[in-house]
């Protein structure tokens, strides 16, 4: 390793190569809660060329590396493991181009997501990706994890937004696929190998994203429903009546809403009575007045028909923020609940309701003091489950129970956050042996020495 460090020092200035206690604790772990570990070295390349030379050397010495973006990942993929060099993309930041005709933005991978959002907004455009970690996560990390977030119902996950990218392979080869066209069937679309591969097949260095026109009017409401069948029926009805303008369909079970209101100060239940389900709806339109009419008339017709039992429409931006604070209260909850099994899973809409009932009854029968909280981007099949007993030793057992149930229901063990190290051992609950074998074949072809993010995903 000393010889490799000597050769890397010849390549990088002292501030780009740090060792031992010079490496700040920030680089010891991502936000997943996986045990921190000091990397054997921290490398901060300034550009693609430098990163390519670093990887060529690490490949020559078979030196394992872990790729670090904004470190907000929740599956442990960016947390170093013993002996790994950490490669941080934080110096590879900046918007390279905004093309207002093609409505595209080109950015370096280490650019925070919020910078892309703000730059798009300055040009009266919309960056169709948003998530709670927007100020800290990087567009490269979003691409590597195929992030979802709150705009998926209309615009899809990151995979649907990326037109082109550049990546450095395990041996330092640079793949430039900076496509700016919507249609391009000239051979394999290689960008998809890197999107969602969690840094195991290559390091994303630059990205071209398709922007969208900014919609001027946004309407938000909080509704109550009495059963899961009404939820799925309403989703179908609203998709038909509001079309692509339906951008938010966030379901909260009563167990989640009650706990958030109990724990987070200053939040109030807008409804006088309790209901089994609470639904946060968001509708966007290009016309303020017509948009409001369309949204309200859709809500009233479903209230009259009894599909929705009560509804409050936000009368101001502040009201809408308050509704979202209830949905986003999970951040505060996680800080006070102690050891929890915190899962983001996917299920088919037809199975999701039955799964949640089955899960709650099985967990409560098996563990004393069990609490289960549920919410999710149900329009995207995405269910978040927080299950806990207050005892740390139960957490891994509960994780396993939920993962095995996902296998039983043919769901996805992770909807958004990725496999990383946390869910690697459960991949076979969602993927067939043939699929996993093909993943290994790809990994071996693209990283024969296994130097890139080893032990993540597969």
Ligand X SMILES: Cc1cc2nc3c(=O)[nH]c(=O)nc-3n(C[C@H](O)[C@H](O)[C@H](O)COP(=O)(O)OP(=O)(O)OC[C@H]3O[C@@H](n4cnc5c(N)ncnc54)[C@H](O)[C@@H]3O)c2cc1C
**By CB under 6 A, residue 144 contacts ligand X:** yes
Nearest residue (beta carbon) to ligand X:
141
CB atoms within 10 A of CB 196: 18
Nearest in space to 333 (alpha carbons), one of 325, 344, 345, 322: 325
Residue closer to ligand X, measured from CB, 93 or 241: 93
**By CB under 6 A, residue 89 contacts ligand X:** yes
Q: Longest Cα pair distance anywhere in the chain, in angstroms?
A: 75
* Candidate residues 39, 64, 80, 140; the one interacting with ligand X per rule CB under 6 A: 140
Within residues 304-343, the interface with ligand X by CB under 6 A covers 331
| Dihedral, CA of residue 260, residue 325, residue 382 and residue 29, to nearest 10 | -90
CB of 12 to ligand X, least distance (A): 18
Q: Among the candidate windows 35-43, 143-151, 278-286, 298-306, which touches ligand X by CB under 6 A?
A: 143-151
Supply the DSSP string of 378-392, one letter for each residue. Answer: GGGTEEEEEEE-S-G
Three-state DSSP string of 127-172 = CCCCCCCCCCCEHHHHHHCCCCCCCHHHHCCHHHHEEEEEEECCCC
Q: Among the candidate windows 127-135, 286-294, 352-360, 431-439, which touches ligand X by CB under 6 A?
A: 127-135
Nearest in space to 86 (alpha carbons), one of 62, 69, 61: 69
* Candidate residues 84, 198, 282, 447; the one interacting with ligand X per rule CB under 6 A: 198
**By CB under 6 A, residue 199 contacts ligand X:** yes
Contact 457, 427 (CB under 8 A): yes
* Candidate residues 11, 56, 102, 131; the one interacting with ligand X per rule CB under 6 A: 131
Q: How far apart are CA 6 and CA 442, in angstroms?
A: 32
* Candidate residues 63, 117, 145, 381; the one interacting with ligand X per rule CB under 6 A: 145
Residues whose CB falls within 8 Å of the CB of residue 195, separated by 6 or more in sequence, listed in order: 143, 144, 146, 158, 159, 162, 165
* Candidate residues 29, 67, 383, 385; the one interacting with ligand X per rule CB under 6 A: 67
Q: How far apart are CA 124 and CA 133, in angstroms?
A: 23
Mark 336-375 with x for binding to ligand X (rule: CB under 6 A) and - for no binding.
Answer: ----------------------------------------
* Candidate residues 29, 133, 345, 413; the one interacting with ligand X per rule CB under 6 A: 133
**By CB under 6 A, residue 128 contacts ligand X:** no
Residue closer to ligand X, measured from CB, 200 or 224: 200
* Candidate residues 147, 170, 222, 299; the one interacting with ligand X per rule CB under 6 A: 147
Burial of 345 (0-12, 13-18, 19+ CB in 10 A): buried
DSSP for residue 416: S
Within residues 2-61, the interface with ligand X by CB under 6 A covers 30-31
**By CB under 6 A, residue 73 contacts ligand X:** yes
Q: Among the candidate windows 129-137, 227-235, 288-296, 308-316, which touches ligand X by CB under 6 A?
A: 129-137
Site residues (vs ligand X, CB under 6 A): 30-31, 66-74, 77-78, 89, 109, 131-133, 137-138, 140-142, 144-145, 147-149, 198-199, 203-204, 331, 416-417, 420, 453, 456
């Amino acid at each position: 390793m000393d010889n490799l460090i000597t050769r890397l020092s010849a390549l990088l200035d002292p501030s780009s190569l740090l060792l031992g206690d010079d490496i700040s604790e920030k680089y010891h772990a991502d936000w997943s809660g996986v045990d921190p570990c000091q990397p054997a070295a921290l490398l901060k390349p300034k550009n693609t060329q430098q990163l390519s030379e670093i990887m060529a050397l690490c490949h020559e010495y078979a030196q394992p590396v872990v790729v670090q973006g904004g470190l907000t990942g929740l599956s442990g993929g960016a947390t170093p493991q013993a002996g790994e060099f950490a490669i941080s993309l934080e110096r590879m930041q900046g918007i390279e181009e905004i093309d207002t005709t093609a409505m595209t933005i080109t950015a370096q991978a280490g650019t925070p997501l919020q910078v892309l959002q703000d730059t798009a907004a300055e040009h009266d455009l919309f960056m169709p990706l948003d998530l709670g970690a927007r100020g800290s996560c990087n567009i490269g990390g979003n691409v590597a994890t195929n992030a979802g977030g709150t705009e998926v119902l209309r615009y899809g996950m990151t995979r649907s937004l990326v037109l082109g990218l550049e990546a450095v392979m395990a041996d330092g080869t640079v793949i430039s696929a900076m496509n700016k066209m919507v249609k391009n069937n000239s051979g394999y679309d290689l960008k998809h190998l890197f999107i969602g591969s969690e840094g195991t097949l290559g390091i994303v260095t630059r990205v071209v994203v398709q922007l969208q026109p900014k919609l001027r009017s946004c309407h938000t409401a909080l509704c109550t429903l009495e059963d899961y069948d009404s939820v799925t029926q309403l989703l179908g009805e609203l998709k038909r009546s509001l079309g692509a303008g339906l951008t938010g369909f966030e379901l909260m079970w009563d167990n989640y809403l009650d706990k958030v209101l109990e724990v987070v100060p200053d939040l109030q239940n807008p409804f006088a009575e309790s209901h089994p389900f609470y639904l946060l709806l968001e509708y966007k339109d290009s016309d303020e007045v017509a948009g409001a009419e369309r949204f309200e008339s859709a809500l009233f017709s479903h209230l009259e028909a009894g599909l929705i039992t009560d509804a409050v429409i936000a009368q101001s931006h502040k009201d809408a923020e308050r509704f979202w604070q209830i949905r986003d209260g999970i951040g505060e909850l996680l800080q006070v609940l102690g050891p929890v099994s915190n899962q983001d899973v996917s299920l088919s809409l037809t199975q999701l309701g039955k799964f949640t009932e089955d899960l709650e009854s099985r967990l409560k029968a098996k563990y004393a003091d069990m609490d289960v909280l549920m919410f999710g981007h149900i329009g995207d099949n995405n269910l978040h489950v927080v299950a806990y007993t207050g005892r740390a030793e139960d957490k891994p057992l509960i994780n396993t129970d939920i993962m095995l149930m996902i296998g039983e229901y043919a769901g996805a063990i992770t909807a958004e956050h990725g496999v990383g190290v946390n869910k690697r051992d459960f991949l076979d609950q969602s993927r067939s042996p043939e699929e996993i074998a093909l993943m290994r074949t790809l990994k071996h072809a693209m990283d024969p020495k296994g130097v890139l993010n080893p032990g993540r995903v597969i």
